[in-house]
């Protein structure tokens, strides 16, 4: 049997008394955390609107110039063969680029995309001006610049523009 030095016993003994004391934050109404939980200027509505899709315009909160240009080497503009998917719960989204085919597709389908609450991913964007042009083709839709290579690999697609829903891939 090994002998444990006296120092180890002392450390174990004193460790039981060295626990930090818990501090409760948020007990009083005038605490410092109140400002983090209070949303200024928001109007509360007790009536839900399930027939209307809500879009978050994240571009208002970030400067996206640092991420541009975005290039997706596995995707290019072109036709796709529609096919069915079985991905329950998938929120509809679409992939577009700054090319003329994508801009025309966006203009033609903007109302339907808004109605279904689809979010957009711009997978080929040269610069900030091109991103603004893409967003102008479909006002009111959230379109964020991202590399689409992972999506292309997982869904086995090669072209855009494309709409991806829980039940189908279509153009």
Residue 67 CA to residue 61 CA, distance in Å, equals 14
Residue 125 has pLDDT above 80, yes or no: yes
Percent of the chain with pLDDT over 70: 63
Read off the pLDDT of residues 9-57 as tens digits, 9 standing for 90 and up: 656 565 656 666 655 555 555 555 455 445 444 444 444 444 555 555 5
The ranges assigned to domains in the chain are 58-170
96 vs 115: CA distance, rounded Å: 18
58-170 fold: Glutaredoxin (3.40.30)
The more confidently predicted of residues 126 and 40 is 126
Cβ atoms of residues 79 and 159 within 8 Å: yes
Name the residue with higher pLDDT: 145 or 1: 145
Residue 162 has pLDDT above 90, yes or no: yes
pLDDT digits (tens, 9 = 90+) for 66-75: 889 999 999 9
Q: Is the pLDDT of residue 93 over 80?
A: yes
The DSSP secondary structure of 76-145, one letter per residue, reads EE-----EE---TTPPPEEEEESSHHHHHHHHHHHHHHHHHT-EEEEEEB-SHHHHHHHHHHSTTS-EEE
Residue 123 CA to its chain's centroid (Å): 14
135, 64 Cβ separation under 8 angstroms: no
8 A C-beta contact, residue 53 and residue 116: yes
- The token pair that represents 157 in the structure block: 């697609």
pLDDT for res 81: 94
Question: Among residues 145, 150, 155, which one has the least CA distance to residue 122?
Answer: 145
Stronger pLDDT, 44 or 111, i.e. the higher one: 111
């Amino acid at each position: 049997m090994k002998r444990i030095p006296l120092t180890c016993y002392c450390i174990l003994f004193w460790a039981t008394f060295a626990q930090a004391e818990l501090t409760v934050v948020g007990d009083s109404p005038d605490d410092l955390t109140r400002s983090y939980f209070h949303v200024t200027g928001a109007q509360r509505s007790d009536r839900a609107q399930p027939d209307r899709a809500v879009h978050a315009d994240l571009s208002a909160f970030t400067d996206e110039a640092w991420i541009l240009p975005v290039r997706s080497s596995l995707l290019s503009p072109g036709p796709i063969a529609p096919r069915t998917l079985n991905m329950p719960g998938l929120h509809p989204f679409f992939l577009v680029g700054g090319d003329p085919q994508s801009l025309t597709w966006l203009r033609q389908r903007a109302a339907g995309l808004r109605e279904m609450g689809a979010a957009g991913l711009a997978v080929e964007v040269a610069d900030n001006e091109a991103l603004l042009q893409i967003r102008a083709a479909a006002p009111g839709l959230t379109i964020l610049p991202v590399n689409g290579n992972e999506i292309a690999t997982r869904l086995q697609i090669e072209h855009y523009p494309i709409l991806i829903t829980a039940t189908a891939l279509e153009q």
